[in-house]
Amino acid sequence: MKPAILVARAVFPEVLHRLSAHFEVESNQDDVVFTPSELIEKLRGKAGAITTSSARINRELLQQLPNLKMVANMAVGYDNFDVAVMTEFGVKASNTPDVLNETTADFGWALMMATARRITEAEHWLRDGQWHKWRYDYFLGADLHGSTLGIIGMGRIGQAIARRSTGFNMRVIYHNRSRLAPEQEAFANNAQYVSKDEVLRQADHLMLILPYSPASHHTIGAAELAIMKPTATLTNLARGGIVDDKALIVALRNKQIAAAGLDVFENEPKFDPDFLGLNNVVLTPHIASASEATRRAMANCAVDNLIAGLSGATPPNLLTSF
Ligand code: DGY
């Protein structure tokens, strides 16, 4: 008999087809976002699951699911997993690194450029019928070329963002838990390792792309925003909770920094409605990895991991060790 699995959110139909060759698949093509107790009920008797960041895999859940052997997250971020508890319960965990690096880096640039050059603000104004003449000072923004790009979180996506800055003749400074090897720094447009405060002080454009954990909660709050340049932009591609959204709203309102581009929010999709009253913020609904090819690659990567993990092999992107 094939092992039973749950695909906890909607996916490309061919992914279900691929899974059904190996497993008894319960899918959720209606894309219901299960509550924690609904998720437990859906997972009862299942050997595995494919999840996204809406599914919290923690002690309360695992205590009730003795048959569960593996959960494959369709995301590189896995702050929805309690990996230590999954290890304790002998439940394998995996994520989808690498396949989304370049697509996410492309989007980081799109969001940073839209933010610096006020593209969505200008488009809303045009659509609103307000364009009647050209003026020298309409929508003056900040240049990217020749400026300093500050990156906090210099993993694979951060490095891909840095590499793209060579064409803009930018200087790159970064902060990370650990310094990159010299050859990695050289490849990332000669990125220079500095303290977090120096990134904040010197960056004309700040890019946040670090993983979320209790230790990185509110990496950017009122104190950090206070030392940024008043002309600086901030782009958050990482996770809600990395930035204190309330503090950012105050800083944007008071023009303590020039503008922000946000793809992730605290408590998303219920983001703070005060963002909507601000012109100097570009808001997108957590789509940094959303290219057609990359979302398919992420889904197939999660499937590869689950097939390997439930057949007793080591999944290519295993997060747990036991
Ligand atoms: C990721 O892969 O972590 C993206 O943010 C999608 O959740």
Measured CA to CA, the distance from residue 117 to residue 132 in angstroms comes to 20
Which of the four pLDDT bands, split at 50, 70 and 90, describes residue 143? very high
* 4-99+292-310 and 101-283 in the same fold: yes
Phi, psi of 298 (to 5 degrees): -65, -45
pLDDT number for residue 303: 98
- 81 DSSP 8-state letter: B
User: In 10 A of CB 174, how many CB atoms?
Assistant: 27
State the Rg of the chain over Cα: 21
Active-site annotation holds for 145 = no
Asked whether 76 lines ligand 1 (CB < 6 A), one says yes
Residue 322, pLDDT above cutoff 90:
no
CA of 81 to the centre of ligand 1 (A): 13
Task: Tell me which of 74, 100, 156, 213 to substitute to probe ligand 1's pocket, judged by most ligand atoms within 8 Å of the beta carbon.
Answer: 100
Average pLDDT over residues 237-245: 97
Nearest alpha carbon, ligand 1 atom 7? 75
> What DSSP letter does each residue of 180-240 carry, written as one string?
PPHHHHHHTTT-EE--HHHHHHH-SEEEE-----GGGTTSB-HHHHHTS-TT-EEEE-S-T
The model's pTM? 0.96
Contact (Cβ atoms closer than 8 angstroms) between residue 155 and residue 175: no
Nearest residue (CA) to ligand 1, atom 4 = 75
What tokens appear for 103 in the block? 């697509």
Instruction: Give the domain ranges of the chain.
Output: 4-99+292-310, 101-283
Q: Which two three-digit tokens encode residue 30?
A: 């209606």
Fold type of domain 4-99+292-310? Rossmann fold (3.40.50)
Query: What is the fold of 101-283?
Result: Rossmann fold (3.40.50)
Query: For residue range 173-219, what is the model confidence (pLDDT) as tens digits?
Result: 999 999 999 999 999 999 999 999 999 999 999 999 999 999 999 99
pLDDT at position 144, please? 98
53 in contact with ligand 1, CB cutoff 6 A: yes
Q: What local confidence, expressed as pLDDT, does residue 197 receive?
A: 98
Mean of all residue pLDDT scores within the chain: 98
Out of 224, 239, 266, 295, the active site residue is 239
- Order of strands across the sheet with 205-208? 192-193, 171-175, 148-152, 205-208, 233-236, 259-262, 281-283
Q: Is 118 a catalytic residue?
A: no
Asked about 201 being catalytic, the answer comes back as: no
251-309 pLDDT per residue, tens: 999 999 999 999 999 999 999 999 999 999 999 999 999 999 999 999 999 999 999 99
Longest CA–CA span in the chain (Å) reads 71
